[in-house]
Amino acid sequence: SDPELAQAILGNDLNKLQNIMRGRHQQRSNLRRQQEEELALLNADPFDIEAQKELKLQF
């Protein structure tokens, strides 16, 4: 259920639809980048206690 997306589609508002899709793509990209950074931190030194604590706090 996504009223904002439905309204953009049903209202034939292409600009709004594009903005919604761009925003969601940006959110997914940011999340993916953050996950990759966290994984890189973990892989850099799996015995780094501070890195492990930071990862646990984020999940």
pLDDT for 58: 64
What count of Cα atoms within 13 Å lies in the side-chain half-sphere of residue 37? 8
3-state secondary structure at position 25 = helix
pLDDT for 20: 97
For the record, the structure tokens of 30 come out as 């940011």
Which CA distances in Å does 23 have to 13, 16, 19, 34? 16, 10, 6, 16
- CA-CA distance, 44 to 22, in Å (whole number)? 32
pLDDT tens, per residue, the chain with 59 residues: 899 999 999 999 999 999 999 999 999 999 999 999 888 887 888 788 887 777 677 66
pLDDT for 51: 76
pLDDT for 13: 95
pLDDT for 52: 76
